[in-house]
Structure 1
Amino acid sequence: MTTTAQRTDGARIEVRDLTKTFGSFTAVDHLSFEVEPGRITGFLGPNGAGKTTTLRMLLGLVRPTSGTATIDGRDYRDLENPSATVGSALESTNFHPGRSGRDHLRVLAAAGGLPDSRVDEMLELTGIPAAARKRAGEYSMGMRQRLGLAAALLGDPRVLLLDEPSNGLDPEGIRWLRGFLRHLSSQGKTILVSSHQLQEVQQTVDDVVIIANGRLVRSGAMSDLRGAPSTIVRTSDPDRLVGALRVADVMAAAGDDGELVVETTDKRLVGDVALRAGLPIWELRDRKADLEELFFDLTEGTNRNLGDGATSPPPPTERDAVSGQEGANE
């Protein structure tokens, strides 16, 4: 990847009716969604919802029981140049603890036919050149996250699959990651990010895919999650303002802590109505999508890992991983 503003063509991710069972347990259940180029998509769900299993199926590490998970219209095993198409960081612990960060990347670069200069470029890009000669076993969690991201970017991939990339990052690191992912998406890259940090996701992503118990519960653009655009208003007499707005053919309803949710984005209209009614305006702002509220509304009470008798999904076994690799080599 270059650091210029040059755009690259992304690749569309398509998951269609994807299902994965481990014995009697269904980890992913007829899941379907798309991830578009040039956009950052958050992949969300409670623990055990099937996120990591889905990402592993996209990468050919686990073979689907049924359905498809394609990148640029192809299974991972059919990609002509996988490292130039897909970069992934699913774990931040898959480093040899005695090998330096730079040597870890050099091994990966050699396997992909890439020059060592690419390694140095990625170390600079992810902000860890000073730690490049330290053993990876001495890295902090945040440093390991950056090293994993550098590894994912070595082949200048069109698609990035990232599992919890902000884990272990301090506030400055999280801010850096947000801007870095936005820079990559501006180049046209397709980015799918699995995360539990909902407030951070809300500030980072363009679209979300929310799953629970292996099934899709909601997907779409962040801007569309809460339905019709609206405005939050606070005043001294909310009931009186509701009546005045109704006369102006604008509907409003009580929200949290005495606020009103007004079904319009025309703040000048709301202010004019309040002025005619002789009411002060204490607050007037756009109502933004609250991802955390939506997430818990959609998933609360549906998590199979909560409550008596709940069962957790078994972790993918070595046999499952080998099966996926065999499938990728067929």
Structure 2
Amino acid sequence: MTTATAEGARVEIQSLTKRFGDFTAVDDLTFTVEPGRITGFLGPNGAGKTTTLRMLLGLVRPTSGTATIGGRTYQHIPHPITTVGAALEATSFHPGRSGRDHLRVLAATAGIPTSRVDEMLELTGIPAAASKRAGGYSMGMRQRLGLAAALLGDPSVLVLDEPANGLDPEGIRWLRGFMRHLAGTGKTILVSSHMLQEVEQTVDDVVIITNGRLVRAGRMADLHGTTTSLVRTSDPERLAGALRVADLTSQPAGDGVLTVESADLRAIGDVALRAGVPVWELRQQTSDLEDLFFALTEGTNRNLGDGASAPPPDGSRTPVPSAPVEGGGR
């Protein structure tokens, strides 16, 4: 059995299933999250993402299968706050307590020095607001406070649910760089998000689920499929003929544009030059994450079908620990 280390720990989801009565929220789900990498966890609303994360953190009991961190279930990690930090909600704090006091309570409960509180406030960019009541924080400030709490124990694994919600563009850029820095130190990062364009710029690996089942998983760089090229010209028919002679397949895309089944821009440009056809635009193109996401999930959202409502993702039929989640404690 492997154990968590300061350099990161592998998160393993194996045949994980959760049923609420007749409703299957998560269905035989299997994937891994590797140390030193950021993994994006994606799916439509109601796909089972939050239920999966809550099972990983010991807040919901699986019907079958396992969810482990460094080879152990959350309940069997000796000092979880130093192994896994999680931010599942941006409201898990007393509204009348200051941000600094919120972190002090968590630190005292876990035996963490108070000095670490101010370090995390500085690191997440909220020292000026630390003395203000957390109930008056903006959504973006709440997200930063949740992240500060998740990092209190310097955990090797971070589990973040929609961490960019409420952040302004500057905050989103900061978060992207911050997660990249943490992954660079060897930490394992699993992040659930609906912001597909931001995910595409941030993550190394992607896991996409729908209706509780895995539909695609792999490295971000490998999920786009074959790279094609776009070429715009005044005479697309003539260029298409010249490309055929050169064993390059193309398809018309309107407005003088051809989509060529090749990533070799030099070869396409040479063909156009030999054919005497002017080129107005020539570039590679790949399907982006948004295209892939909707191709895999469009029309599959069970919550949009017959109007039936699914059980709440927090698994209200299972007792949930009362201590804050984001600090990694139970």
Normalising by structure 2, we get a TM-score of 0.91
1:76-87 residue pairs with structure 2 within 5 A? 76-87=74-85
Secondary structure, counterpart of 2:154 in structure 1: coil
Structure 1 window deviating more from structure 2 (198-207 vs 282-291): it is 282-291
Residue 26 of structure 1: CA displacement?
0.5
Secondary structure, counterpart of 2:121 in structure 1: helix
The answer to whether the 8 Å contact 1:61/1:324 transfers is no
The answer to whether the 8 Å contact 1:62/1:323 transfers is no
Q: Which residue in the other structure is 1:98 paired with? A: 96
Residue 213 of structure 1: CA displacement?
0.5
The answer to whether the 8 Å contact 1:123/1:132 transfers is yes
The whole-number CA distance in structure 2 between the counterparts of 1:59 and 1:245 is 55
Q: Which residue in the other structure is 1:3 paired with? A: none
Structure 1 window deviating more from structure 2 (87-96 vs 249-258): it is 249-258
Residue 256 of structure 1: CA displacement?
7.4
Deviations along 1:105-146, whole A, 9 cap, x unmatched? 111111221111111111111000000100100100000000
Structure 1 window deviating more from structure 2 (168-177 vs 50-59): it is 168-177
Deviations along 1:214-249, whole A, 9 cap, x unmatched? 001111112111212333322223333333223223
Choose from 113, 116, 119 the match for 1:118: 116
The whole-number CA distance in structure 2 between the counterparts of 1:283 and 1:324 is 59
Identity within the alignment, %: 74
Alignment of 1:140 onto 2:150: no
Choose from 154, 159, 162 the match for 1:164: 162
The whole-number CA distance in structure 1 between the counterparts of 2:286 and 2:120 is 36
Structure 1 window deviating more from structure 2 (88-97 vs 259-268): it is 259-268
Report how many aligned residue pairs link the two structures: 320
Residue 8 of structure 1: CA displacement?
5.3
Structure 1 window deviating more from structure 2 (111-120 vs 311-320): it is 311-320
Residue 78 of structure 1: CA displacement?
1.6
Summarize the Cα distance change of 1:59–1:174 in structure 2 as closer, same or farther, 3 Å threshold.
same
Q: Which residue in the other structure is 2:218 paired with? A: 220
The whole-number CA distance in structure 2 between the counterparts of 1:254 and 1:69 is 48
Normalising by structure 1, we get a TM-score of 0.91
Structure 1 window deviating more from structure 2 (316-325 vs 260-269): it is 316-325
- Structure 2: gaps (5+ residues): 324-328
Q: Which residue in the other structure is 2:326 paired with? A: none
Summarize the Cα distance change of 1:38–1:241 in structure 2 as closer, same or farther, 3 Å threshold.
farther
Q: Which residue in the other structure is 2:249 paired with? A: 251
Summarize the Cα distance change of 1:238–1:135 in structure 2 as closer, same or farther, 3 Å threshold.
same
Residue 92 of structure 1: CA displacement?
0.1
- Structure 1: gaps (5+ residues): 1-6
Aligned-residue CA RMSD in angstroms? 2.2
Choose from 201, 204, 218 the match for 2:202: 204
Deviations along 1:18-66, whole A, 9 cap, x unmatched? 1000111100001111111111111111111000000000001101000
Q: Which residue in the other structure is 2:38 paired with? A: 40
Secondary structure, counterpart of 1:219 in structure 2: strand
The answer to whether the 8 Å contact 1:48/1:313 transfers is no
Q: Which one-letter code corresponds to 1:182 in the other structure?
A: R
